[in-house]
Structure 1
Amino acid sequence: MAEEESAAATAAIVEEEGVPTRLWVSVNSLSQKKPVTLFVEDVDKTRGATSGENAAVASTVSDLVTETIKAEILYQQDQAKVAVESVDSVVDEAIRTELQHKAQATTHDKVPYTELTLALIKPDALKAGYEREIRYTMQAHGFVIVHESQIQFTNVRAALFYDHHQDKPWFEKLTRYMSSAPVHAFVLGKVRAARSWNVAIGPTDPEQARKESPLSLRARFGKDILRNAVHGSFNAARARHEIKLLFPNLILDPLLDPPKARFYFDKFLKKTLIEGLTALATAKPHSEPLQVIRWFAQWLQHHNPYRPFVDGKKHVEVVIPD
């Protein structure tokens, strides 16, 4: 068998018993998902091919390669278009859903972004076993628990936390109480979270809470003004201060509203995601979904245009575990 190669094409003279020797040309094609093979002509092996026949074969190979390249370009364009349409449809559907929700919401719910607030289950309520009921109240009022942890205040840390009360006569008593046993801290997310949580917990004095808001947490679980079961930040600004004090590594950036989210996506994410999804559709790296996700995660890591540089080199890569 003799072979002649040109670009992505392979020309081969194939001998078959009982028939003239035949010349075939084959080109690998992604769009066809298989080699494209073209029969050129019969060749009389005993006399060999003439210069004219060789020229005809070369021309046929060249034409086939040209057509295959055109087909591949169209295929890649189609794959990119599919990726763009897929990403756009997901984002558009998310925005439509969010806008529909906002249109149906009551006026006081129409705020630009979700707030965060801090909630504490104080030592008396935690020791009495009220955590389960307090969690249920959080869920019933529509809060999302963004982060939580059990914390043991020191007297100094409690003094920093309640610094806005340091001129009160009961300040030292409060800090001693809050550092006497563990508390459970929650970062809660919801629209107007600080205001909503303060409504759920009720007035500071449990006796007043039982009169004005008998279903509130302080009315149900509080004993007195000091041991009133729970803490809540009195406004969003104070919540950010308290969260930063207890959870310094927690990101407090507010969620973007849909138009700003779409602008951010189009400017910083869309181009890279489209390129990545196109590469994924072309490579078809694995049949297992988790392996596909792993491949895509590694692709995004290596092709992130915003990866920081350290001493002129890309930042140390994050190892993606198996």
Structure 2
Amino acid sequence: MSLEPQQTMEQSMPLPQIYVERTLALIKPDLVHKAEDIEDIIVRSGFSIIQKRKIHLSPEQCSDFYSDQYGKMFFPSLTAYMSSGPIIAMALGRYKAISYWNELIGPSNSLKAKESHPDSLRAIYGTDDLRNAVHGSYCYTSAEREIRFMFPEVIIEPVPIGQAAKDYLGLFVNPTLLGGLTELCKQKPADPYTWLADWLLKHNPNKPDLLHQIIVEVPKE
């Protein structure tokens, strides 16, 4: 008779690979003074604020950012409004961030939002279809472009969670960490935290080997 515990159906079924998606959020010029309140709602709604900056765009920069709206009648008013003062730009992260953020902010016309989505950010803070409090990316492509526009140094990659995160840890993190902890137990250093940190730096599998000779230039007298 086997004494090994049997796996339940839930344990044996593979977990779906779920990724943290990113989207861009803007708090528009006339609502910057309400940024703290809006950010509190964002966090309580399950989003993480990955990056944030306060920036004052020029009309030319606004034209580039809203290039997909070029040629529409409201385009000059939009760029003039968005360049009228500082804005708050945020890269938000969560599962299905783009759709959840658009649901939270509501329809682009604040007057319509007050009727159809009274609890949305645009219904609460917006005043019309132009001064509608916040901006949100409408699809993955626009989110990627807009995040790169506001945060040029950012690297946009899906962040693995769930089974995908477990697979990543099993392949790339756990083997190195296990080796370090095993050696730590053998050495028993007086300062285990510093010793382990130094060991991990020395045995980092992603650190390239420098095969070329390092030449130090001596300044001429």
Q: Does TM, normalized by the shorter one, top 0.5?
A: yes
Which residue of 2 is the match for residue 115 of structure 1? Answer: 21
Which residue of 2 is the match for residue 229 of structure 1?
Answer: 133
Superposition pairs for residues 87-98 of structure 1, below 5 Å?
A: none
Q: Which amino acid aligns with 2:115?
A: K
Q: Deviations over 1:31-57 (max 9, x none)?
A: xxxxxxxxxxxxxxxxxxxxxxxxxxx
Give, in whole Å, the separation in 2 of the partners of 1:158 and 1:285: 57
1:277 correspondence with 2:181: yes
Question: Are 2:159 and 1:255 equivalent residues in the alignment?
Answer: yes
CA RMSD between the two structures: 2.3
Residue in structure 1 matched with residue 207 of structure 2 by the alignment: 307
- Secondary structure at the aligned position of 1:256 is classed as strand
Q: Distance in 1 between matches of 2:213 and 2:60?
A: 43
Q: Is the 8 A contact 1:125 1:131 kept in 2?
A: yes
Cα distance change on mapping 1:297 and 1:193 into 2, 3 Å: same
Q: Which amino acid aligns with 2:201?
A: Q
Which residue of structure 1 aligns with residue 37 of structure 2? 133
Question: Relative to 1, partners in 2 of residues 1:227 and 1:111: Cα closer, same or farther, differing over 3 Å?
Answer: farther
Matched AA of 1:122? K
Q: Does 1:150 align with 2:50?
A: no
Partner of 1:241: 145
* Bigger Cα displacement from structure 2, 267-276 vs 299-308: 267-276
User: What's the TM-score once normalised by structure 2's chain length?
Assistant: 0.82
Which residues of structure 1 form unaligned runs of 5+? Answer: 1-98, 104-109, 315-322
Rounded to whole Å, the distance in 1 between the matches of 2:213 and 2:173 is 22
Q: How far off is 1:166 after superposition? A: 0.9
Amino acid at match of 1:112: I
Distance (whole Å) between structure 2 residues aligned to residue 192 and residue 313 of structure 1: 49
Match of 1:165 in 2: 69
Give secondary structure in 2 for the equivalent of 1:113.
strand
SS in 2 for 1:189: strand
Spell out, residue by residue over 1:153-189, the C-alpha distance to the aligned partner (whole angstroms, 9 max, x if none): 1222211211111121221221121112110111111
Look up the equivalent residue of 1:203 and give its one-letter code.
P
CA distance in 2, matches of 1:223, 1:256: 38
8 Å contact from structure 2 (residues 19, 159) kept in 1: yes
Equivalent position SS for 1:169: coil
Distance 1:248 1:293 in 2: 35
Counterpart position of 2:197: 297
Tell me, in whole angstroms, the C-alpha distance in 2 between the residues paired with 1:156 and 1:142: 34
Query: What is the TM-score of this pair, normalised by structure 1?
Result: 0.58
Select the structure with the greater relative contact order (CA < 8 A; seq sep ≥ 6): 2
Q: Give the partner amino acid of 1:150.
A: K
Query: CA deviation digits over 1:89-148, x for unaligned, max 9?
Result: xxxxxxxxxx8xx98xxxxxx77211111111100111xx22122112212211111111
Unaligned runs of 5+ in 2: 1-10, 215-221
Count of aligned residue pairs for this structure pair: 202
Give every structure 1 segment of 4 or more consecutive aligned residues whose post-TM-superposition deviation is greater than 4 Å: none
Specify whether residues 282 and 133 from structure 1 end up closer, same or farther in structure 2 by C-alpha distance, changes over 3 A only: same
1:256-305: CA deviation from partner (whole Å, max 9, x where unpaired): 24433333333333332121111222223235xxxx33322221111112
**1:192 Cα deviation (Å)?**
0.8
Query: After the TM superposition, which of the residue ranges 129-138 and 192-201 deviates more from structure 2?
Result: 129-138
- The answer to whether the 8 Å contact 1:124/1:229 transfers is yes
Would you say 1:185 and 2:185 are equivalent positions? Answer: no
- Which residue of 2 is the match for residue 63 of structure 1? none
Query: What is the distance in 2 between the residues matched to 1:224 and 1:177?
Result: 13
Does the CA-based 8 Å contact 1:111-1:191 persist in structure 2? Answer: no
Which amino acid is 1:295 matched to?
W
Please give the alpha-carbon distance, in whole angstroms, between the structure 1 residues aligned to 2:21 and 2:142.
Answer: 12
